[in-house]
Amino acid sequence: MRVSKRSDAMTQSTVAASERSHGSIRTVSEEKLMVAVRVRPQRPDEGPRIVHVVSDKMLVLEEEADSRRDVLRQRRLNDKHYVYDRVFGEGSTQEDVYDAVCAPLVGDTLKGFAGAVFAYGATGAGKTYTMTGLMSRALSHLFASIAESEHPESYE
């Protein structure tokens, strides 16, 4: 990854500015919408890595210069910094994603609130893999919580 000291300082200041502009950091339960990104491991047949997780809130997307003959633009920093509510690196587990994103929604659902998880991405990005893991954990969590409830209700 081509992250220079200048780029790293810019990344830290971007994350800090984002957190300041949003006030205090809120939990999933306090947010109306949360955007989380999960970076999947790279396959051997893919080209060089262009997505780099910088922190649990930021990733960097490397972009190539438009033209190799355009010397002035080649030296320009083409990396794009993106800030999200949560970023999961390729080493993250299904459990990590569930605990941070879905578990609070299941708890809120049991209190009568609605919640939804939506996966979006290119073909092969890992949506089905991630959602399958999240759905099974959410159902287990939901039914275990109902079974442990002091006032279980029955519905027909």
Say whether 147 counts as a known binding-site residue.
no
Structure tokens, 88: 């999961």
Say whether 109 counts as a known binding-site residue.
no
For 106-109, the CB contacts below 8 A with 24+ separation are 106/138, 106/141, 106/142, 106/145, 107/29, 107/145, 108/29, 109/142
Distance CA 53, CA 58 (A): 6
Say whether 124 counts as a known binding-site residue.
yes
Distance CA 99, CA 138 (A): 10
Say whether 65 counts as a known binding-site residue.
no
Say whether 127 counts as a known binding-site residue.
yes
Say whether 121 counts as a known binding-site residue.
yes
Q: Using CB atoms within 10 A of its CB, is residue 21 exposed (0-12), middle (13-18) or buried (19+)?
A: exposed
Binding site listing? 121-128
Binding site listing for ATP? 121-128
